Structure 1
Amino acid sequence: MPKKIVVTGIGATSPLGANARDSWTALLAGESGARTLEQEWVEQYDLPVKFAASAKVEQEEQLERVEAKRLDPGSQFALIAAREAWADSGIEHIDPERLGVDWSTGIGGVWTLLSAWDTLRERGPRRVLPMTVPMLMPNAPAAAIEMHLGARAFARTVVSACASSTESIANAFDHLQQGFADVIIAGGSEAAIHPLPLAAFASMQALSKRNDEPATASRPYDVTRDGFVLGEGGAAIILETEEHALARGARIYAELVGGAVTSDAYHITAPDPEGSAAARAMIAAIETHGYSRSDVRHINAHATSTPVGDVAEYHALKHVFGDHLADIPVSATKASTGHLLGGAGGIEAIFTVLALAERTAPPTINLTDMDPEIHLDVVREPRALPEGDVLAISNSFGFGGHNAVVAFKSV
């Protein structure tokens, strides 16, 4: 008999706010997290892109100095988000062997790795810090969360580019169904606003180059879109079986009804233009426990604001929903947050959960001239969602042809 899996806690630190609620409030207000970078290395390396969606509040303001010093920025974001989600869940007591972590990153500890390389070249091997490897390894954020909360069921890490944290949530759904834990902290984090990733993404023509207007640079579906805006942060949700949640009198935000992962086997960076594998992931997530595509009433789209990616996702959505697609309000929240890479699906899952909990689809900013190839009902202002049972999906797609989709239901 399938178990009901519910969301009982949320936490985030993002370009829009220091926590999940502030991020949501700023999203509804139509704010942008993109801003000009003030770091000296922007001019030092003459970077072609001089802006990004940096975290609204620096990690050093949210962590103790000693713990921050021993964590890469990506792990710092993870710990901040997980702590908030844990406190929000209200869990006071749990068997450590029934608590698990499903975390993710797209790139890992790039700041630690490249800083250590600079130290080695400039000062020699004896000056490389002994904590370098534990800080740069991709599983470091999961380890930080696991040790802080005493989670002993497992601590797993997904690295699937920009699909990573949505895949971690899909994995958590499966792990709870399989009885591996009663409660799981799931999500993802990323801290890649560094000169090398910025230069590399710009070199492959993936980033917007609107240096004079960063707040309006991310414009999903707009005919003038020219790439994504690099973002950073972390997001966590607490998932548990409904039985466990009800037994402790938990507040429930929404139900996670399914998650699915597929791959394109098409190209290392470009999405399959037909979107067939992405469509399969959506269908599988929706139909995991018998729901129908016609039950979906809201979509948080991947929508990175790249010329090719937005069209490919539209084709996938059209394949899944057909004529029903015209009746589904679509939100493209990267327009506000930028693209958090491995952390993107985590913050977008939170936005999807809150959209259901508050019956409000969040707006897509910066869309002024709709691409004539894309026929979607894009939400431009906060819009009320219907009463009763409402199903919503959140899509994430990543380099390597990774597709991950999760489906939530209102409660």
Structure 2
Amino acid sequence: MKRVVITGAGTINALGQNVEDTFAAMKDGRCGIGPLEMRDVDRLTIKIGGQVHGFEAEARFNRQQIALYDRFTQFALVAARQAIKQSGLEFSGEMAAKSGVVLGTSGGGMQTLDENYRSVYEDGKNRVHPFVVPKLMNNAAASHLSMEFNLKGPSFTVATACASSNHAMSQAFQLVRTGMAPVMVTGGSESMLCFGGVKAWEGLRVMSKDACRPFSANRNGMVQGEGAGVFVFEDYDHARARGADILAEVVGFAMTSDASDIVMPSKQGAARAISGALADAKVNPEEVGYINAHGTGTAANDKTECAAVADVFGPHADNLMISSTKSMHGHLIGGTGAVELLACIMALREGVIAPTISYEEPDPECALDVVPNEARDAKVDVVLSNAFAFGGLNAVLALRKV
């Protein structure tokens, strides 16, 4: 088995349009959630979200590309360009033939879907643009990344709702670890903040009208976000041989299914994923210093996740730091695990733990150190990133400082 390291990272989200700005916002405990700016927002009950503002597609892509790229694909390409530039890699020859891309998304081209439903059903048009299907398909972002960067190896998309990115990164990790690919570009992207996307989530009655307050006793729901996080996963020996700057090492993962309920989380399913990631990484629970929680801000998720962590870690749970950055950038659904992996890298590389902001009241059912409201300087060597999705699909990644 090969060791797998991260040699490049890129992002665009409500906190920043690159990693540096996102780290700065996380350290400041800045909130990227605010009033939504979109068509027919007055018809929505939920009017807030972690929206990416100041993004001009015309400044980054030509007209032909914009005709082909949904907003989620645009986000993925922006983040991937940053990550691959940081890695210093160029893909040609045998490395291009073996390297690939695995991305996570839940909704795919939701903006395109929303616009064309309006065109056909509201405006009464009988024709749509010939590129609607290749623009809205879930694999569009992965396919365009493979084309832009000459990635000819294993390339596909994972769609497992809110765990999509973690599942995708787990698969990329496995492809590099087993030697099938020397490099994989991986992460996730989502842009569901359109009228139909928000209206659909309203129907679940799990959304907050004012703020995302994970673990706080007065939490009242999740808040949607949008954006992308993309990383370069690379064979450790390959990275060392070329003198790459290593951001962190991916050391383990686990995936489980609750097999119980389509929306309600399971403590047992979450706990099996967490303990499975520790076993795969061959680390003791006492070695873990920080967990980036799924932490949606809903009543059921937060207490279930805390119970699962307490079960797995026992007395050491009192020494763990666990925070949810969704309080700052919102819930990116299929892209959320990718952006949250940045908080794990920041913890390992810079010794700064991102806070859970908007925390107001302790909840006895969430009685862990949730790093409330202010970032914290702390030395940690091993971290976990949790993702627990609707459908009962769980994926946990373990990272180690190099």
What TM-score does the superposition give when structure 1 sets the normalisation length?
0.94
Q: Report what 2:243 is aligned to.
A: 249
Residue aligned with 2:252, SS: strand
1:140 is aligned to 2:140: yes
Report SS of the residue matched to 2:356: coil
SS at match of 2:365: coil
Map Cα deviations across residues 215-271 of structure 1 (whole Å, 9 max, x no partner).
Answer: xx0110111111111100000011001011011110001100011111101111111
Tell me what 1:338 maps to: 330
Q: Match of 1:384?
A: 377
CA gap of 1:22–1:244, structure 2 versus 1, over 3 A, is: same
Cα deviation for residue 191 of structure 1 reads 0.4
Q: Which moved more, 1:377-386 or 1:307-316?
A: 377-386
Which residue in the other structure is 2:96 paired with? 96
| 1:288 partner SS | helix
Cα distance, 1:108 vs structure 2: 1.2
The Cα of 1:63 is off from its aligned counterpart by 1.7
**Match of residue 112 from structure 1:** 112
Structure 1 SS opposite 2:364: coil
Aligned pair in 2 of structure 1 residues 157, 40: CA closer, same or farther (>3 Å)? closer
- How far residue 61 of structure 1 moved from its aligned partner, in angstroms, is 5.9
Structure 1 distance, partners of 2:89, 2:338, is 21
1:243 and 1:60 map into 2 onto residues whose CA distance is: 37
Does the Cα contact within 8 Å between 2:348 and 2:379 map onto a contact in 1? no
- What CA deviation, in whole Å up to 9, does each residue of 1:299-349 have, x standing for no partner? 100000001110111111111101101101112110001000000000011
Equivalent pair of 2:26/2:375 in contact (CA under 8 Å): no
Within the candidate set 248, 251, 264, 1:270 is matched to 264
Deviation of 1:360 after TM superposition, in Å, equals 1.3
Flag the 1:344–1:21 CA change in 2: closer, same or farther, 3 A: same
- The alignment status of 1:280 with 2:272, answered yes or no, reads yes
Tell me how far apart the structure 1 counterparts of residues 346 and 97 of structure 2 sit (CA, whole Å): 29
Alignment of 1:143-222 (within 5 A): 143-210=143-210, 217-222=211-216
Give the match's secondary structure for 2:24: helix
Which piece of structure 1 moves more, 68-77 or 55-64?
55-64
- Do structure 1's residue 124 and structure 2's residue 156 form an aligned pair? no
Aligned-residue offset at 1:65: 3.4
Q: 2: CA distance between counterparts of 1:16 and 1:70?
A: 26
Q: What does residue 236 of structure 1 align with?
A: 230
Q: More displaced, 228-237 or 86-95? A: 86-95
Cross-structure match for 1:5: 4
Call closer, same or farther: CA 1:281–1:59 in 2, change over 3 Å: farther
Structure 1 portions without partners, runs of 5+: 211-216
Q: Name the CA distance, whole Å, in 2 between partners of 1:20 and 1:190.
A: 17
Match of 1:55 among 49, 52, 56: 52
Q: Name structure 2 gaps, 5 residues minimum.
A: none
Distance 1:93 1:189, change over 3 A: closer
Asked if the contact 1:17/1:57 (under 8 Å) is kept, the reply is: no
* 1:165 partner letter: S
State the SS of the aligned residue for 1:373: helix
Give 1:260's aligned residue. Answer: 254
Q: Give the Å deviation of 1:93.
A: 4.8
The answer as to whether partners of 1:5 and 1:241 remain within 8 angstroms in 2 is yes
- Whole-angstrom distance in 2 between the partners of 1:93 and 1:135: 25
Alignment partner, residue 374 of structure 1: 366
> 1:59: how far off?
4.6
Contact 1:106 1:159 in 2 (8 A): yes
Q: Which residue of 2 aligns with 1:396?
A: 387
Counterparts of 2:387 and 2:84, CA distance in 1: 24
The one-letter code matched in structure 1 to 2:88 is G
8 Å CA contact retained: 2:111, 2:192: yes
Equivalent position SS for 2:169: helix
Task: Name the CA distance, whole Å, in 2 between partners of 1:332 and 1:370.
Answer: 15
Measure how far apart 1:56 and its partner are. Answer: 3.7
Letter in 2 for 1:383: R
**1:309 partner letter:** N
- Mapped pair 1:309 → 2:306: no
1:318 pairs, out of 310, 323, 338, with: 310
Residue 82 (structure 2) aligned to one of 79, 84, 88:
84
Report the CA distance between 1:70 and its aligned residue. Answer: 1.6
TM-score by length of 2: 0.96
The residue that corresponds to 1:405 in the other structure is 396
Structure 1 residue 31 displacement after superposition = 0.7
Distance in 1, Cα, partners of 2:56 & 2:141? 14
Once the two structures are TM-superposed, the CA of residue 120 in structure 1 deviates from its matched residue by: 2.6
CA distance in 1, matches of 2:59, 2:76: 12
Percent same amino acid among aligned pairs? Answer: 38
Distance 2:241 2:29 in 1: 38
SS at match of 1:208: coil
Which residue is 1:214 aligned to? none
Q: Which residue of 2 aligns with 1:227?
A: 221
Distance in 2 (CA, whole Å) between partners of 1:61 and 1:284 is 45
CA distance in 2, matches of 1:62, 1:406: 35
Maintained 8 Å contact 1:33/1:56: no
Check whether the contact 2:70–2:109 (CA below 8 A) recurs between aligned residues: yes
